[in-house]
């Protein structure tokens, strides 16, 4: 696995972590039936943080970030996003979801709508943005992810990398304060991984708060300000990337890193 | 070492395929004569098809169009030297009775003092085409035509059954009242409460106000009305189309609601939907029709005259809705979970997600099943003959009861089959056109 995500220097001028808390998770537990999938998770994310969550498959890392916009429901503990606590109150859930963008492993674009319609749908229906303004915003973000010329095509006509960039643009059109990435490059060909990572790096350079579940350790090294390692539903180790990769403390982390970076 | 080394210095240009694999010869080789066994099968099937067609065309090619009775047909064929059971078709019966097969006993001017009113079902049928256009070919017709589509459910019964124009207008007014009520109430209360209250409001209007007001207005303006036609005059293909259109038009929305209800997390809603679907699907349509024609009267207050065709509408619609719900549920199940999550993650609420993301895709996946159900319902309308309504099949018995045409079978059934085939094949072709149009994976 390549160590470097991009071959250019990263502009860190806006990558600042503020004191404002974006997400606060305390003593959170979740079960799938009898299986204890997330165990006593405590995590505070400040505005502007770029966190990479790594870990073996089945360690609960995807489930953790899916709890933050309540695609999964937690059964114990508290999750507070942008000052709003996630409860079963549907109004709060919809409010938080419109503030928190998410990109999925399989993009989850809407295949029956064009790229432009994918991007304008939520602003028009959720934010009640006028259509013209929504289209302008969508074109702005499509230009940002470098595919404005595909706006009138359907998702099925685009490559995987292009689709994932559209998915990022679609989330950005809602002007989210936090972005969640659930293995955004795992379903892509190696040639396409780079274009998606480039887009994510640009996003980080603008100061977006990001939580990424990913196996791209080059990205973690270059962009993240914190790396979290999870195993068996628990946070095993977290540290700054430099320390995390060069000087892991737990045996489990060492084993994982040796396997993922070993070849 | 250099054995495995290879570098291409020049890229190969495209070449055309060999002549034997393209064009007519290529097609024949590929599809008809691709091996010894297949070639034999092709020849045998060809002989069988030609023999059958020869027989059918020989029978159907029969100059009996103007014959007045079966005996006259036989005489004509005898004069031509054609004898026996398969001597030739007797088309005189179609010439004599085609109007009855299309319109049943709808007033046609032969009865003294009653005008020819067949223009009404014809107009209703033509308007149906215009009303369907905005639904079937949304981007090819002016958007304003949707108003005709919305008015059609009130125009059609008025044209067919006649009576004062105020009746359908008052029924339509109930929907307007319900809609306005919802708009006003949803400002004041939650949307669910507003929905329930506005439905109550509309139902109260229909039950207590609409009839009286319509009667009053009808007395004031007696000219604004059509001669009423009773339900028992309805018959023939017109009856099949009427029942079919109503059942098809209503079963799709009801089926969507049932399918969503069946997927609901709310236990009571879910149980009601599952119970309804399983009960209706577990009972033959004929049983439901018998219930409609006989048992329903027992449960009604004495003296209520609940129109027989209206009862059939309800039963056939319920029957079709249960099947429709299951077809749509199949479409919902085929959607990847990611689509729900994509919609959720953008903050769309349940109804927005269903309307904008889930249903358009689920319905598209279900098109073949939905159209099969439509075709099935349309053909099942012939079952109303068992409760004494004169659909085309029941009319054949009436026609054979005439001593002129006693013994005619194939010609009548063939004619009816042709009519049904035209409609069903049309629906089938439309569904294929729609599937092609909605394909977005590649162009």
Q: Could you tell me if A174 lies within 8 Å of chain B, comparing CB atoms? A: yes
What percent of chain B shows pLDDT beyond 90? Answer: 48
CA distance B265 to chain A (A): 14
The C-alpha atoms of residue B256 and residue B326 are separated, in whole angstroms, by 9
Is A12 inside any structural domain?
Answer: no
| CB–CB contact A101 B441 (8 Å) | no
Q: Per-residue pLDDT averaged across A116-132, rounded? A: 94
CA angle B103, B106, B112 (to 5 degrees): 135
**Which chain A residue lies closest to B341 (C-alpha atoms)?**
A71
| CB–CB contact A157 B443 (8 Å) | yes
A90 is in which domain, residue-wise? Answer: 21-262
Residue numbers in B near A170 (CB within 8 A): 346
Count other C-beta atoms under 10 Å from residue B282's C-beta: 9
Q: Which value, in Å, is the radius of gyration of the alpha carbons in chain A? A: 18
| CB–CB contact A154 B438 (8 Å) | no
Residue numbers in B near A101 (CB within 8 A): 345
DSSP state string for A47-106: TT-EEEEE--TTSSHHHHHHHHTTSS--SEEEEEETTEE--S-HHHHHHHHHHEEEE-TT
pLDDT digits (tens, 9 = 90+) for B359-393: 999 999 999 999 999 999 999 999 999 888 899 99
CA distance B376 to chain A (A): 28
**Which of A42-46, A159-163, B10-14 is the least confident region?**
B10-14
Q: Is the pLDDT of residue A10 over 60?
A: yes
Is A135 inside any structural domain?
Answer: yes
Which residues, 6+ apart, have CB-to-CB distance to B96 below 8 Å? B68, B404, B405
| CB–CB contact A110 B352 (8 Å) | no
The C-alpha atoms of residue B186 and residue B188 are separated, in whole angstroms, by 5
What percent of chain A shows pLDDT beyond 90? Answer: 79
pLDDT digits (tens, 9 = 90+) for B223-271: 778 888 888 889 999 999 999 999 999 999 999 999 999 998 889 999 9
Pick A48 or B219 by higher pLDDT: A48
Residue with the two structure tokens 């031509």: B80
Residue numbers in B near A112 (CB within 8 A): 360-361, 364, 438, 440
pLDDT digits (tens, 9 = 90+) for A39-54: 999 999 999 999 999 9
Q: Is the pLDDT of residue A108 over 70?
A: yes
**Which of A4-18, A168-182, B47-61 is the least confident region?**
A4-18
Q: Which two tokens stand for residue B77?
A: 């064929």
Among the partner-chain residues B341, B347, B442, the one whose CB lies closest to the CB of A126 is: B347
Evaluate whether A138 touches A172 at the Cβ level (below 8 Å): no
- CATH number of A181's domain: 3.40.50.300
The helix (H) or strand (E) run that includes residue A224 is: none
The C-alpha atoms of residue B124 and residue B120 are separated, in whole angstroms, by 6
Q: Which two tokens stand for residue B133?
A: 């256009």
Q: Is the pLDDT of residue A6 over 70?
A: no
pLDDT digits (tens, 9 = 90+) for B89-125: 999 999 999 999 999 999 888 887 788 888 999 999 9
**Which of A115-124, A174-183, B211-220, B228-237 is the least confident region?**
B211-220
Among the partner-chain residues B342, B347, B361, the one whose CB lies closest to the CB of A108 is: B342
- A94, A98, A106, A108: which to substitute to probe chain B, counting the most B Cβ within 10 Å? A108
CA distance A8 to chain B (A): 32
**Which chain B residue lies closest to A96 (C-alpha atoms)?**
B347
CA distance A235 to chain B (A): 25
Q: Which two tokens stand for residue B100?
A: 């009855």
Of B4, B86, B98, the residue nearest B52 (C-alpha): B86
| CB–CB contact A71 B344 (8 Å) | yes
Among the partner-chain residues A95, A108, A112, the one whose CB lies closest to the CB of B360 is: A112
Phi, psi of A51 (to 5 degrees): -110, 130
Average pLDDT, chain B: 89
Among the partner-chain residues B339, B348, B442, the one whose CB lies closest to the CB of A125 is: B348
Question: pTM for this one?
Answer: 0.86
Q: How confident is the model at residue A233 (pLDDT cuts 50, 70, 90)?
A: very high
CA distance A250 to chain B (A): 34
The C-alpha atoms of residue B84 and residue A160 are separated, in whole angstroms, by 71
Q: Could you tell me if A176 lies within 8 Å of chain B, comparing CB atoms? A: no
The C-alpha atoms of residue B106 and residue B117 are separated, in whole angstroms, by 7
Q: Per-residue pLDDT averaged across B304-324, rounded? A: 89
Residue B136: what pLDDT? 86
Is A150 inside any structural domain?
Answer: yes
Please give the class, per CATH, of domain B233-443: mainly alpha
The C-alpha atoms of residue B423 and residue B430 are separated, in whole angstroms, by 11
CA angle A218, A223, A224 (to 5 degrees): 100
Residue A36: what pLDDT? 93
Strands A209-213 and B163-164: unpaired
| CB–CB contact B345 A109 (8 Å) | no
pLDDT digits (tens, 9 = 90+) for B140-164: 888 888 889 999 999 999 999 988 8
Q: Is the pLDDT of residue A1 over 70?
A: no
Which residues, 6+ apart, have CB-to-CB distance to A106 below 8 Å? A187, B336, B338
Is A2 inside any structural domain?
Answer: no
Domain with CATH 1.10.3720.10 in chain B: 233-443
| CB–CB contact A121 B356 (8 Å) | yes
Residue with the two structure tokens 């125009």: B155
Q: Per-residue pLDDT averaged across B401-422, rounded? A: 92
Looking at residue A257, the DSSP 8-state letter turns out to be: H
Among the partner-chain residues B342, B441, B443, the one whose CB lies closest to the CB of A110 is: B342
Q: Could you tell me if A116 lies within 8 Å of chain B, comparing CB atoms? A: no
| CB–CB contact A69 B345 (8 Å) | yes
Interchain CB contacts (distance < 8 Å): A and B: 74
Which residues, 6+ apart, have CB-to-CB distance to B256 below 8 Å? B324, B325, B328, B359, B363
Residue numbers in A near B364 (CB within 8 A): 112
Q: Could you tell me if A98 lies within 8 Å of chain B, comparing CB atoms? A: yes
Q: Is the pLDDT of residue B212 over 90?
A: no
Pick B414 or B30 by higher pLDDT: B414
Phi, psi of A229 (to 5 degrees): -110, 125
Residue numbers in A near B348 (CB within 8 A): 94, 121-122, 125-126
**Which of A75-79, A125-129, A237-241, B202-206 is the least confident region?**
B202-206
Give the CA dihedral A219, A222, A223, A229, nearest 10 degrees: 60
Q: Is the pLDDT of residue A113 over 50?
A: yes
Q: How confident is the model at residue A70 (pLDDT cuts 50, 70, 90)?
A: very high
Residue numbers in A near B349 (CB within 8 A): 90, 94
The C-alpha atoms of residue B87 and residue B84 are separated, in whole angstroms, by 5
Q: How many domains does chain A contain in total?
A: 1
**Which of A165-179, B104-118, B315-329 is the least confident region?**
B104-118
Among the partner-chain residues B338, B352, B360, the one whose CB lies closest to the CB of A108 is: B338
Q: Is the pLDDT of residue B179 over 80?
A: yes
Three-state SS string over chain B comes to CHHHCCCCCCCCCCCCCCHHHCHHHHHHHHHCCCCHHHHHHHHHHHHHHHHHHHHHHHHHCCCCCCCCCHHHHHHHHHHCCCCCCCCCCCCHHHHHHHHHHHHCCCCECCCCCCCECCHHHHHHHHHHHHHHHHHHCCCCCCHHHHHHHHHHHHHHHHHHHCEECHHHHHHHHHHHHHHHHHHHHHHHCCHHHHHHHHHHHHHHHHHHHHHHHHHHHHHHCCCCEECCCCHHHCEHHHHHHHHHHHHHHHHHHHHHHHHHHHCCCCHHHHHHHHHHHHHHHCCCHHHHHHHHHHHHHHHCCCCCCCCHHHHHHHHHHHHHHHHHHHHHHHHHHHCCHHHHHHHHHCCCCHHHHHHHHHHHHHHHHHHHHHHHHHHHHHHHHHHHHHHCCECHHHHHHHHHHCHHHCCCCHHHHHHHHHHHHHHHHHHHHHHHHHHHHCCCCCC
Among the partner-chain residues A104, A107, A112, the one whose CB lies closest to the CB of B361 is: A112
Give the CA dihedral A198, A200, A205, A209, nearest 10 degrees: -170
User: How far from B443 is each of A153, B363, B435, CA to CA, in Å?
Assistant: 10, 21, 13
Q: Is the pLDDT of residue A5 over 70?
A: no
Is A13 inside any structural domain?
Answer: no
Per-state percent for chain A, helix, strand, coil, to nearest 5: 40, 25, 35
Q: How confident is the model at residue A176 (pLDDT cuts 50, 70, 90)?
A: very high
Average pLDDT, chain A: 91
Helix (H, G, I), strand (E, B) or coil at A129: coil
Residue with the two structure tokens 């570098």: B7
Looking at residue A210, the DSSP 8-state letter turns out to be: E
Q: Is the dihedral of CA A111, A112, A113, A118 positive or negative?
A: negative
């Amino acid at each position: 696995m390549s160590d470097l995500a991009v071959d250019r220097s990263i502009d860190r001028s806006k990558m600042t972590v503020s004191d404002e808390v974006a997400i606060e998770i305390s003593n959170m537990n979740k079960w799938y039936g009898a299986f204890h999938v997330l165990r006593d998770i405590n995590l505070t994310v400040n505005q502007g943080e770029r966190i990479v969550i790594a870990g073996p498959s089945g360690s609960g890392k995807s489930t953790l970030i899916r709890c933050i916009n309540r695609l999964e429901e937690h059964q114990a503990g508290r999750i507070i996003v942008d000052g709003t606590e996630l409860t079963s109150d549907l109004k709060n859930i919809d409010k938080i979801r419109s503030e928190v963008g998410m990109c999925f492993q399989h993009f989850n674009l809407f295949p029956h709508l064009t790229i432009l319609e994918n991007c304008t749908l939520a602003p028009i229906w959720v934010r009640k943005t006028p259509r013209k303004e929504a289209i302008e915003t969508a074109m702005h973000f499509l230009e940002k992810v470098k595919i404005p010329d595909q706006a009138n095509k359907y998702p099925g006509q685009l490559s995987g990398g292009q689709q994932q960039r559209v998915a990022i643009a679609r989330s950005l059109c809602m002007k989210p304060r936090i972005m969640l990435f659930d293995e955004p490059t795992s379903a892509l060909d190696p040639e396409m991984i780079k274009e998606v990572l480039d887009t994510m790096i640009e996003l980080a350079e603008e100061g977006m708060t990001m939580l990424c579940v990913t196996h791209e350790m080059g990205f973690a090294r270059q962009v993240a300000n914190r790396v979290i390692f999870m195993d068996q539903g628990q946070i095993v180790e977290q540290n700054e990337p430099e320390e995390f990769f060069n000087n892991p403390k737990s045996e489990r982390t060492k084993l994982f890193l040796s396997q993922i970076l070993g070849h | 070492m250099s054995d495995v080394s290879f570098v291409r210095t020049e890229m190969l240009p495209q070449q055309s395929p060999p002549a034997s694999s393209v064009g007519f010869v290529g097609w024949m080789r590929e599809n008809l004569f691709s091996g010894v066994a297949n070639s034999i099968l092709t020849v045998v099937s060809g002989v069988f098809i030609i023999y059958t067609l020869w027989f059918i065309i020989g029978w159907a090619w029969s100059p009996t169009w103007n014959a007045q009775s079966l005996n006259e047909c036989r005489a004509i064929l005898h004069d031509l030297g054609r004898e026996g059971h398969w001597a030739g078709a007797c088309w005189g019966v179609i010439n004599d009775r085609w109007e009855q097969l299309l319109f049943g006993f709808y007033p046609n001017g032969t009865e003294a003092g009653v005008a020819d009113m067949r223009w009404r079902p014809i107009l209703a049928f033509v308007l149906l085409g215009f009303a369907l256009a905005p639904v079937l070919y949304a981007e090819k017709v002016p958007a304003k035509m949707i108003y005709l589509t919305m008015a059609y459910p009130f125009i059609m019964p008025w044209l067919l059954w006649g009576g004062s124009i105020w009746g359908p207008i008052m029924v339509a007014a109930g929907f307007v009242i319900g809609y306005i009520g919802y708009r006003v109430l949803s400002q004041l209360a939650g949307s669910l409460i507003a929905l329930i209250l506005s439905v109550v409001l509309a139902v109260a209007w229909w039950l207590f106000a609409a009839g009286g007001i319509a009667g009053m207005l009808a007395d004031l303006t007696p000219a604004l009305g059509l001669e009423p036609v009773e339900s028992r005059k309805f018959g023939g293909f017109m009856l099949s189309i009427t029942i079919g259109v109503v059942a098809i038009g209503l079963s799709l929305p009801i089926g969507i609601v049932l399918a969503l209800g069946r997927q609901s997390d709310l236990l009571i809603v879910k149980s009601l939907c599952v119970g309804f679907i399983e009960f209706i699907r577990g009972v033959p349509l004929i049983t439901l029709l018998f219930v409609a024609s006989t048992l329903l009267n027992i449960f009604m207050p004495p003296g209520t005259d609940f129109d027989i065709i209206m009862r059939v509408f309800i039963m056939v619609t319920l029957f079709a809705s249960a099947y429709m719900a299951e077809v749509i549920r199949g479409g919902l199940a085929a959607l990847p979970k990611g689509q729900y999550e994509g919609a959720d993650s953008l903050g769309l609420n349940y109804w927005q997600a269903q309307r904008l993301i889930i249903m358009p895709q689920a319905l598209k996946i279900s098109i073949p099943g939905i159209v099969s159900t439509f075709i099935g319902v349309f053909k099942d309308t012939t079952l109303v003959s068992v409760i004494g309504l004169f659909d085309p099949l029941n009319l054949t018995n009436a026609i054979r009861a005439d001593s002129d045409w006693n013994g005619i079978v194939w010609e009548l059934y063939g004619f009816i089959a042709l009519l049904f085939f035209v409609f069903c094949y049309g629906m089938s072709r439309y569904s294929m056109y729609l599937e092609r149009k909605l394909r977005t994976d590649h162009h």
